[in-house]
Amino acid sequence: MQSIIIQVGQCGNQIGYKFWDEAVKEHSSVNKKGLFDEALSSFFQNVDSSTRKAVPLEDGKNKVRDLKARAVLIDMEEGVLNNIKNSPLAGLFDSQQVITDVSGAGNNWAVGHLEYGEMYKDQISDVIRKTAESCDCLQSFFCIHSMGGGTGSGVGTYVLRLLEDEYEDVFRFVTAVYPSVDDDVITSPYNSLLAMYQLTEGADCVIPIENQSLMNIVSKLNVTKDHGCNKKSVKKLLGSNVNKNKGEENPFDKMNSIVANLILSLTSSSRFEGSLNIDLNEICMNLVPFPKLHYLVSSMTPLYSLSGTNLPMRRLDQMFTDSFTKEYQLLNVDPKHSLYLACSLMLRGDVQISDIRRNIDRLKPQLQFIHWNPEGWKTGLCSVPPINQPFSLLNLSNNSCMRSTCIDLRNRFVKLYKRKAHLHHYTRVNNFEESLFSECLESVDWLIDEYETLEASIIQPNSTMERLRIF
């Protein structure tokens, strides 16, 4: 089964680049002979450079010829995409996979969604279709974008609704980066709530990540810039595609690497073997009991790399404990003191199933699960660890603490909207109706109400379930 990464805007493309960088290193560490095997085929194509056609898998007997990422790169400014074209991984992406403009969306959701989305609709649809046609069995789309800017929020959510229309039966995962309170984009509250309305309606699963949480993590931990890897192994996979230009270091690289490693952990079961692998679609099936309550709170440990050296095995139990603490969350919330609808623990490396069971039994009494799903745990175990680490854990939970994030976004939005500040930048865009702001407020209010109703079920489980308005 294959998946396609769709990275939109500056943030989405920078995170996407870090994902492909780390993914190549992980596969190189395992795939010493440079064969195009089933693990590689999940996110890469093997292309015959002479005919430009994809080479069939054939049970991993083919040598890697010209490795190409199953990706679509979209940005309405050229800067980041030009950096990627001049980067060491430039050969992973054909020019046909890249869609760009020069002027940008001006930090305006309406410009990105209604102007650029419509302008590039056919081109975006065509590139996605060609990428999908190269898949034997398309399993899911991963959309990566920010919420505060114009291209990420506007074009990113436009692509999501396009996928909903054209690939209704293919799961749509979204990794969305939410702005911090002191974000330098003055219109980010508008963009974020407009985008969130689209995510609530059009995604199957959303993993929100907050800039402030990433900054806090980077400031506290010694996050290393790069994972070491055998360069000869990398060259076997990329061959002549390796661009010697090292490129410029991005100031957000450390934060982007944390998000990229979240996606690496989430997709590890589809890229490598494991004794208890989780199918990507099982995430939605097990963690999303109600269609629109599909926002998953995430934490990781160790966070990218705590020290750049292997962690001692005695830290295994502590790793489970850390994943439920506030400091390790990628969203500024505290799920341990809120209500769990479901929880998934996805581990990589030298971990036994008995270790997972022991730690679940140890931690379960400390957590509040909804009364109708007290055993709502989904566990996965991939045998291949991250580079330079013996094991890692990704914790995804559907938790009512998402309510606080919704309230925070709503308050920031209302603070601007009640003064009609900067509103003219949106209403001047063709086909934008001010009533859309009211719809966004209704949508986020609905989410807040549903989370409050679920939290009330701790006290009155029967009457609360009768009042749920989820559809």
> What is the structure's pLDDT at 276?
84
Q: Among 181, 184, 382, which Cα is nearest to 266's?
A: 382
Q: Which fold has domain 404-467?
A: Helix Hairpins (1.10.287)
- 121-133 helix and 156-166 helix, angle to the nearest 10 degrees: 60
Q: CA-to-CA distance for 235 and 224, rounded, in angstroms? A: 23
158, 123 contact by CB (below 8 A): no
243, 89 contact by CB (below 8 A): yes
Q: Which residue has the tokens 């009155």?
A: 460
Q: Which residue has the tokens 């079961």?
A: 269
CA–CA distances in Å: residue 92 to residues 72, 142, 238, 240: 11, 17, 8, 11
Q: What is the DSSP letter of 392?
A: E
172, 205 contact by CB (below 8 A): yes
344, 286 contact by CB (below 8 A): yes
H/E element, 194: helix 188-202
Q: CA-to-CA distance for 147 and 253, rounded, in angstroms? A: 18
> What is the structure's pLDDT at 233?
66
N- to C-terminal Cα separation, the chain: 30
* Residue 115, phi then psi, degrees to nearest 5: -95, -65
CB under 8 Å to 300, separation ≥6 — which residues? 258, 261, 262, 265, 323, 328, 330, 392, 393, 394, 395
Residue type for position 100: T
Q: CA-to-CA distance for 362 and 354, rounded, in angstroms? A: 12
244 alpha-carbon distance from chain centroid: 29
CATH class name, domain 2-287: alpha beta
Burial call 252-290: b when 16+ CB within 10 Å, e when fewer: bbbbbbbbbbbbbbbbbbbbbebeebbebbebbebbbbe
207, 262 contact by CB (below 8 A): yes
Which CATH architecture best describes the domain 308-396?
2-Layer Sandwich (3.30)
> What is the structure's pLDDT at 364?
94
> What is the structure's pLDDT at 309?
40
What is residue 365's three-state secondary structure? helix
Task: Give pLDDT tens digits along the chain (471 positions).
Answer: 899 999 999 999 999 999 999 999 999 999 888 889 888 999 999 988 777 778 877 766 788 889 999 999 999 999 999 999 999 999 999 999 999 998 889 999 999 999 999 999 999 999 999 999 999 889 999 999 999 999 999 999 999 999 999 999 999 999 999 999 888 899 999 999 999 999 999 999 999 999 999 999 988 875 544 555 566 667 667 765 555 555 455 658 889 999 999 999 999 998 998 778 888 888 999 999 999 999 999 999 987 554 344 444 448 899 999 999 999 999 999 999 899 999 999 999 989 999 999 999 999 999 999 999 999 999 999 999 998 888 899 999 999 999 999 999 999 999 999 999 999 999 999 999 999 999 999 999 999 999 999 998 775 555 444 444 443
Q: How many CB atoms lie within 10 A of CB 230?
A: 13
Q: What is the DSSP letter of 310?
A: P
Q: CA-to-CA distance for 5 and 70, rounded, in angstroms? A: 6
Taking the domains of the chain in order of start, what are their residue ranges? 2-287, 308-396, 404-467
Residue type for position 170: V
